[in-house]
Structure 1
Amino acid sequence: MEDCIFCNIANGKIPKEFIYEDDRLMVFTDVKPLAPVHLLIVPKEHIASINDLTEKHKDLIGEMFLLAKKMAKEHGISEAYKLAFNTGRKGGQLIDHLHLHLMGGWH
């Protein structure tokens, strides 16, 4: 999607420092963090929201959760953290590209 900020980050049109990147996923800090550690785990494929997931995305979603676990451990928050998907404007979704929030660090 040409006007999607996360797609433009994925394709390099918008520079972003990645904490993690592979062929399917990217991880970077939230620009408006709600916690001492607030990371976004974002698929490179444009998927607007959870409502747009299909059977073909089962492995991708599993990868996102396993990566969240890995990032929590690497950032020292593995004992206490939150994971959240926001769906729809009324559900708090501000960018129409699926992303998983990893938040923690409240010691």
Structure 2
Amino acid sequence: MSAEGEEQSAAHDSKCIFCRIANYPDSDAELLHSDDSLVCFKDIRPGAPHHYLVVPKTHVGNCKTLSKDHVQLVTNMVEVGKSVLQKNNVTDLEDTRFGFHWPPFCSIGHLHLHVLAPASQLGFLSRMIYRINSYWFITADQLIERLQANTDAK
């Protein structure tokens, strides 16, 4: 195996659905954004009229595994989310929710940012699942603050 192939296999988990979506173009997911490090696609169970997931192409664990070194990654994920919303004619970026499920309430162990808009149109169940200041969901801003304040998010 070449050094490049070894690097790729270490950076991706072939069993991880988000690694497969992010790195293999034959995936069923329609990519709304793709660059060298991040992809964005629609959530298969939307909680709002616009519900997207932004995921790193490399396998990164859940938000509890992050450190200060990941602040820029989270910031970039938010910027991609905002850009995709704007490309999809969402003009009120104040009526949005950007966040992560907090372990152990993660269905997939690959870091993924939920981008929801308009937040005012979240249904009853979605308001509970993506509730700010809950035990199971943390906003991107809260995660960044936590990462900046500590060496890790634990």
Q: How would you bin the TM-score normalised by the shorter chain?
A: 0.7 to 0.9
Within 2, Cα distance between the matches of 1:58 and 1:84?
A: 14
Where do residues 1-107 of structure 1 align in structure 2 (5 Å cutoff)? Answer: 1-12=13-24, 15=27, 16-79=29-92, 80-89=95-104, 91=105, 93-105=106-118, 106=121
TM-score by length of 1: 0.85
Show structure 1 runs of 5+ residues with no match. none
Q: Shift of the alpha carbon at 1:101?
A: 0.5
Higher relative contact order structure (alpha carbons within 8 Å, sequence separation ≥ 6): 1
Moved over 4 A (4+): none
Percent identity over the alignment is: 33
TM-score by length of 2: 0.61
CA RMSD of aligned residues (A): 1.7
Q: Which structure has greater helix proportion?
A: 2
Q: Shift of the alpha carbon at 1:78?
A: 3.7
**Maintained 8 Å contact 1:82/1:104:** yes
